[in-house]
Amino acid sequence: QVQLVESGGGSVQPGGSLRLSCAASGRILSINDMGWYRQAPGKQRELVATITSGGNPNYADSVKGRFTIDRDNAKNTVYLQMNSLKPEDTAVYYCNAHVRQLDRGGILISDYWGQGTRVTVSS
C-alpha cells in the first residue's frame, strides 16, 4: 500500500510562515495530481491547492498570493509554503495524491490521503 506522511505543521503567530511537506512511499509507478486540503473546526474540508504532475498549480482564492505549492517528482513529495498566515488558516491540513500503481492486471490509479498535520495561527 501507499502511505502519505505529512510534516511541518505547528503553531505560529499571524503573519508568520510554515512549510508543509508530504512524502509518498510504497509501490508507486508515478503520481498524477497532488494537493493539500484543510478542515477547520466546525467547517467542511476544503481545497487549498493542487498541482499536476507537470507542476501546474491551482489555488483556492483564500490563499492566492500567500501560499505556494510545489513538488519533487523524484522524491514523490509535495510541499506547501504558507506565508502571511492568518488565524483563519488554522486547520488540520491533509495531503492528497492520485497514485499510479502497477500490478498483474495493469495500471491502477488510487486516491490516497495523509493523516493530517495541524496548523494553528494565533497571537
| CA–CA separation, 67 and 14 (whole Å) | 14
pLDDT of residue 38: 98
| Contacts for 43 with CB less than 8 Å, ≥ 6 apart | 91
pLDDT of residue 17: 98
DSSP 45-97: -EEEEEE-TT--EEE-GGGTTTEEEEEEGGGTEEEEEE-S--GGG-EEEEEEE
pLDDT of residue 103: 81
Query: What does DSSP assign to residue 102?
Result: E
| CA–CA separation, 59 and 50 (whole Å) | 7
Mean pLDDT by 10 residues, the chain (123 residues): 95 98 95 98 96 97 98 96 98 97 89 97 95
Contact 17, 59 (CB under 8 A): no
Residue for grid cell 492528497: 96
pLDDT of residue 21: 98
pLDDT of residue 102: 86
pLDDT of residue 105: 84
pLDDT of residue 20: 98
pLDDT of residue 70: 98
pLDDT of residue 56: 98
Q: Report residue 22 as a C-alpha cell.
A: 508530504
pLDDT of residue 104: 85
